[in-house]
Chains A and B, each alone.
Chain A
Amino acid sequence: MIRLDRLTKSFRLKGETRYIAKDVSFTVPRGDSIGLLGRNGAGKSTLLKLIAGTIKPTSGRVIRLANVSFPLGFQGSFNGSLTGEQNVRFVARIYGHDTEELVKYVQDFAELGNSYFMPVNSYSSGMKARLAFGVSMGIDFDYYLVDEITAVGDSNFKKKCKRVFEDKLQNSDIIMVSHSVAALKDYCTTGIVLEDGSLTYFANIDDAIKLHNKNMDRR
């Protein structure tokens, strides 16, 4: 379960205060996957980070009675001078995961062959994405955070990703930022719409999409 408790997040920009959320409280029970909708710059990614806990609210708090992931397929942490395997080891260590097991899992999943033992510097962007997705799939979380789902690799690999991810979602939930209505309908049951610093929660994703479309037509 994740609870936002009187959460406020604002930024000061050139003397003007802009709100992403203003005194918002609601509870997301386990078993619901949430889609975050809103126009560009509305603060969807920021809200995702607030939920993850990587940035702090201006006031109020986020209570997480769950194990929340890092952004799905996150690769910003990969150190170029380390090999793919060494980078995987690092993530295993910080999550207290069995290192050998995760190293083996990602090796099988990402299908990088010998490159797995080469510095990440030498990887193509596709290879990096495969490695990152493998790491995300190798660790179990209650909630997966997704900032725009991006397809990785060739069609076979894409199929595998989808299959494994959907398998994960049997036991895990997802909090997703997306502009794709199809993806939102596929993965999410509930939705949050961000508009002008106000945040509206919908128990049904279709209602959220409806309001979002209305917002987009208005302006």
Chain B
Amino acid sequence: MYSETFQKSLKRQFAIVFALIVREMTTRYGNKFGGYMWAVMDPVLTIAILTTVFSAIARTPPLGRSFTLFFATGYAAFYMYRSTSEQVASAVEANRALLNYPVVGPYDAIIGRIILQVVTLFVVNLILFGGLWFVVPFEKINLGPIMLASLIAILLGAGVGAANIVWFHLNSTYQQVWGIINRPAFIVSGVFFLPETIPHPFQEILLWNPLVHIVGLFRMGFYPTYRASYVDMPYIVGLASFSIVFGLFLVWLFDAKLREPKK
């Protein structure tokens, strides 16, 4: 048992992560299928509200002719980041009881949640844009930027979430502050406007927000003529890579603290 080879222990670790995923799938929204609908209903309702409100104020969306498609492409990218960061941030706290099993560690809970989140988001987006296609048939889409934007959004979200596992655990005031500061993130991420339309000094400030770039990149896949020249690939790829490495490093560094209950 203890003279396990690397391959064997990797297989074991995989079995543990798999067990956690199965458990979360059956419990995340209660034990009913109806519960799972909420993962889809969040973006659907948000997009519906945005469409209703903005089509009353403006005549045409900033891009294309459909308000629904404009907000869907904006919110879907934002939602991938936001939901991943939230899910990962609560991964350890939600599975605290399971840490009483010596074989289960904080990393298993985190990796399990990231994998489940990727699968969930894939299905959600498939339903969302599949359904949307019947309402507003969009022309040919370009999967390259869409996949790339999704990957960056999820990596960034997972990294921020992993770091927040540690910060939230150490300081609950910070947790409150984080919640308040991030509420307007939705407004300044280019979900319902294009950064090109924002006047000078503010545009430069806005472009510090990586989500603006991610949303722009995601939209490029749906609007073949949209250039989004402000998208700074090295910036967002670098930031996402740094955030996931840093987040997982923090969890490793504070492993001992995370195993003890929150003060």
Chain A residues whose CB sits within 8 angstroms of the CB of B99 once the complex forms: 54
Interface presence of A179 (CB below 8 A): no
- Tell me if A56 and B102 are in contact (CB < 8 A): no
Question: Considering the chains assembled together, what is the distance between the CA atoms of A39 and B90 in angstroms?
Answer: 36
Shortest Cβ distance from B104 into A: residue:
A94
Chain A residues whose CB sits within 8 angstroms of the CB of B227 once the complex forms: none
- Tell me if A55 and B260 are in contact (CB < 8 A): yes
Partner of B2 from the list A65, A77, A86, A94 (CB cut-off 8 Å) is A65
Interface presence of A70 (CB below 8 A): yes
Question: Considering the chains assembled together, what is the distance between the CA atoms of A191 and B86 in angstroms?
Answer: 46
- Tell me if A74 and B100 are in contact (CB < 8 A): yes
Q: Which of A24-50 contact B (CB under 8 A)?
A: none
Number of interface residues of A (CB under 8 A): 28
Interface presence of B15 (CB below 8 A): yes
Interface presence of A90 (CB below 8 A): yes
- Tell me if B259 and A56 are in contact (CB < 8 A): yes
Interface presence of B194 (CB below 8 A): no
Partner of A64 from the list B2, B20, B97 (CB cut-off 8 Å) is B2
Chain A residues whose CB sits within 8 angstroms of the CB of B104 once the complex forms: 94
- Tell me if B2 and A81 are in contact (CB < 8 A): no
- Tell me if B103 and A95 are in contact (CB < 8 A): yes
Provided the pairs A66-B2, A96-B15 are in contact, do residues A86 and B26 lie with their beta carbons within 8 angstroms?
A: yes
Chain A residues whose CB sits within 8 angstroms of the CB of B16 once the complex forms: 93-94
Question: Considering the chains assembled together, what is the distance between the CA atoms of A91 and B12 in angstroms?
Answer: 13
Partner of A70 from the list B27, B30, B101 (CB cut-off 8 Å) is B101
| Distance from B170 Cβ to chain A, minimum over Cβ atoms (Å) | 13
Shortest Cβ distance from B29 into A: residue:
A81
Interface presence of B207 (CB below 8 A): no
- Tell me if B103 and A94 are in contact (CB < 8 A): yes
- Tell me if A79 and B102 are in contact (CB < 8 A): no
Chain A residues whose CB sits within 8 angstroms of the CB of B19 once the complex forms: 90, 93-94
| Distance from B7 Cβ to chain A, minimum over Cβ atoms (Å) | 14
Provided the pairs A54-B102, A66-B2, A96-B12 are in contact, do residues A81 and B22 lie with their beta carbons within 8 angstroms?
A: no
- Tell me if A54 and B100 are in contact (CB < 8 A): yes
- Tell me if A77 and B100 are in contact (CB < 8 A): yes
| Distance from A122 Cβ to chain B, minimum over Cβ atoms (Å) | 12
Interface presence of A76 (CB below 8 A): yes
Interface presence of A198 (CB below 8 A): no
- Tell me if A77 and B97 are in contact (CB < 8 A): yes
Question: Considering the chains assembled together, what is the distance between the CA atoms of A68 and B100 in angstroms?
Answer: 12
Chain B residues whose CB sits within 8 angstroms of the CB of A53 once the complex forms: 102
- Tell me if B22 and A82 are in contact (CB < 8 A): no
- Tell me if B101 and A77 are in contact (CB < 8 A): yes
Chain B residues whose CB sits within 8 angstroms of the CB of A66 once the complex forms: 1-2
14 contacts between A and B (CB under 8 A): A56-B256, A67-B1, A70-B102, A76-B97, A77-B98, A81-B31, A90-B19, A93-B15, A93-B16, A94-B15, A94-B101, A94-B103, A95-B103, A96-B15
B-contacting residues of A (Cβ < 8 Å)? 52-56, 64-71, 74, 76-77, 79, 81-82, 86, 90-91, 93-96, 119, 142
Q: Sorted from nearest, which 7 A-B pairs have the closest CB atoms?
A: A93-B19, A56-B256, A76-B97, A81-B31, A53-B102, A77-B97, A67-B1
Known pairs A81-B31, A90-B22 / 6 extra A-B pairs, C-beta < 8 Å: A54-B99, A64-B2, A74-B100, A74-B101, A79-B23, A119-B31
